[in-house]
Chains A and B, each alone.
Chain A
Amino acid sequence: MIEFKNVAYGYGGGDLLTGIDLSLQAGSFHFLTGPSGSGKTTFLKMCYRELLPSAGRLDIFDQDVREMSRDGVADLRRRIGVVHQDCQFLDHLSVAENVALPLTVAGRAVDGEDLMALLGWVGLSKQADALPPELSGGERQRAALARAVIMSPEVIIADEPTGNVDWDMSQRLLTLLVELNRMGKTVLLATHDMNLIRVAKQQVATRVLRISNRRLQAAGADL
């Protein structure tokens, strides 16, 4: 689904990431770890084409990312649900409207019952009419997850979704992602939290990737 072939990414002052080879298979569950500033977010942004590699080749859904038209990029992002580190909501719209936003911009009808069922799945039924600034950190992360999955995407990418929530909420979010993976979705989750990875390994077959010294490596069995 997503295939990196000797990919590098540089900001101008040298490469932040280099020599990346990876193939994300459909239905897989990957964790991405690494120290702060190692390039995890940059790597994830390449996965939904917010950044382009400076070298190598990156194919997403069998398309070279450099060859995609702007409308093609929009179509790609409808097939990849992303939970951003800072959630990125439209503060003038309600939680329900924010969650339904991918459907709205795609010109698809929003089924009210389905939407409420999704909000119920992430435990936000009561907050449907609230505005994003009224939500707690955990609620924002769950709303972001609901928005990421509303289009029933093939891939779900989450960038530190448990970064600002307590352990109970982290486990709850992880449970939601594991459920999605069991439904056949490909999951790629960036986190610092090794305990979360250990808990996940008890529930689902995962592969752990680590960015170290600008390179992507398979993490050891000690996890």
Chain B
Amino acid sequence: MRLTDFFLRSDADRVVPPSGFTAQLTLLTAAAMAFLAVFALALSFATGRLADRWSEELARTATVRISAPLDQIGAQTEAALAVLTTTAGVAQARALDLSEEQALLEPWFGPDLPLDQLPMPQLIEIIEDDLGFDAEGLRLRLTAEAPGAVLDDHSRWRKPLVRAADRLRLLGIVSLALIAAATGAMITLAAHAALAANAQVIRTLRLVGAQDSYIAQAFVRRFALRALGGALIGTFLGMAAIALLPATSTGTVGGDSFLTGLGFQGLHWFWPLAIAPLAAIVAFVATRLAAQRTLRGLM
């Protein structure tokens, strides 16, 4: 069967009577599933971006905390900075001043915290170059030169976060697979109902010399085109809903959050356009299998 015949030929369509509620069921199912698929796709992309961003940003920064008696902090800070500036993989190392430390603590303790009266540790921010540094080697050197220095390369809390984001991305992909399977199952049920309702028509067609492929084509074409139409509607509505979600505002509180980041960026907007053809393919395969199973039961 040629593709043009599939879309344009109506002989086989004509000999099978209209199938009422199964047509509406297929259209509605495809639309709802496509709508959900758009969100699952957006979830997958958003979590992917989040995982990449966390992974990239956090992987390139580290902190050295100097906890020592007040009279030794200055010396140990200088010693630690000296170690860091001679460490391969460290692009930049600088000690945070009081105002920066105050800014870090402000969300928890407010702006009036008398930092100069508290025994605060000194923080040194490290920015890695592309090659990165050997964390274990650096720790040993810091212990030797500045006993109060503790290196935190963020791996302790970065890894679970990235793992969580990766799992959310996987969840999105699994959701897409489940949506495809549920669509297939629903269309199979609708196709079975249509085939059962037309059992006498199918028997008559066989008796006047119709081949199985001819009979199956009538049902397959009908269900595939309806699934395509329904999925186009659902995809359009899903993309519109995503477009209307609040946009990400980088630099503000919550700018990197999962909720405000849900959506498509750039070329990712083209991905949902694949949902409708895929729904049609799922419907094609599901209906074809259902039709073949039914026809095999006839002589």
Contact = CB atoms under 8 A, between A and B. Distances in A.
Contact of A50 (B205, B208, B211, B299): B299
A74 B211 CA distance: 6
A104 interface: yes
A151 B208 CA distance: 10
Contact of B299 (A73, A88, A97, A147): A73
B4 to A, nearest CB: 15
Given A49-B299, A52-B299, A71 B15 contact: no
Contact of B207 (A52, A70, A82, A104): A82
A106 B12 CA distance: 11
B18 to A, nearest CB: 8
Given A101-B15, A104-B15, A88 B209 contact: no
Contacts of B210: 74, 105
B209 A75 contact: yes
B204 A89 contact: yes
Chain B's interface: helix, strand, loop or mixed, by majority?
A: helix
Interface residues of A, number: 29
Contact of A106 (B14, B209, B212, B299): B209
B86 interface: no
A146 to B, nearest CB: 12
A147 B212 contact: no
26 contacts: A50-B207, A51-B299, A70-B212, A70-B295, A74-B206, A74-B212, A75-B209, A77-B206, A77-B207, A77-B209, A88-B200, A89-B204, A90-B17, A90-B204, A91-B17, A92-B17, A93-B14, A97-B14, A101-B208, A104-B11, A104-B15, A105-B205, A105-B209, A105-B210, A107-B11, A147-B208
Given A89-B204, A107-B11, 16 more contacts: A49-B299, A70-B295, A73-B206, A73-B299, A74-B209, A74-B211, A77-B206, A84-B207, A90-B17, A90-B201, A101-B204, A105-B205, A105-B210, A106-B209, A107-B214, A147-B208
Interface of A: 48-52, 70-71, 73-75, 77-78, 82, 84, 88-93, 97, 101-102, 104-107, 147, 151
